[in-house]
Amino acid sequence: MSLLTFKKLISLIPNHPLLTSSKVKYVRHKGHDKEYQDIIKDVLANKNQLEEYQKNQDKPIFSDCDYIVSFIGLDGGKSTFLECF
C-alpha cells in the first residue's frame, strides 16, 4: 500500500499552485507554551492570533520559501491541516 502524503494529495487538484519547482516548507505547530495552547483551544476563532504566532518565531525558518503549509499538531504524531500561505 502506498502512503498518501499531503504533497501527493495536493497534486490531485488541477492547477494547484504548489508546483514541484516551488520552495515549500511544511510546519507542524505543537507548542507547549501557554500562548500557543490558548490559541489552539479555538483555532478558528483565533486564526489571526495563530498567524501572528507563526510570524514571531525565534529563528527565521520561514524565509527563502514560496509557500508555507501549516498544520496544528495533535497527540500521537497526528496533525490537522490549517492553511497554506
pLDDT greater at residue 58 or residue 69: 69
Position 8 in a domain = no
Question: Tens of pLDDT along 8-62?
Answer: 888 888 877 776 778 888 888 776 767 777 777 777 677 777 777 777 777 777 7
Range list of β-strands (E), the chain: 24-29, 67-73, 79-84
Position 15 in a domain = no
Does the pLDDT value for residue 68 go beyond 80?
yes
Position 17 in a domain = no
Position 36 in a domain = yes
**Mean pLDDT calculated for residue range 69-81:** 81
Confidence of residue 6 (pLDDT cuts 50, 70, 90): confident
Position 7 in a domain = no
Range of the domain at 72: 22-84
Structural domain tally of the chain? 1
Contacts 24+ apart (CB under 8 A), 35-41: 40/72
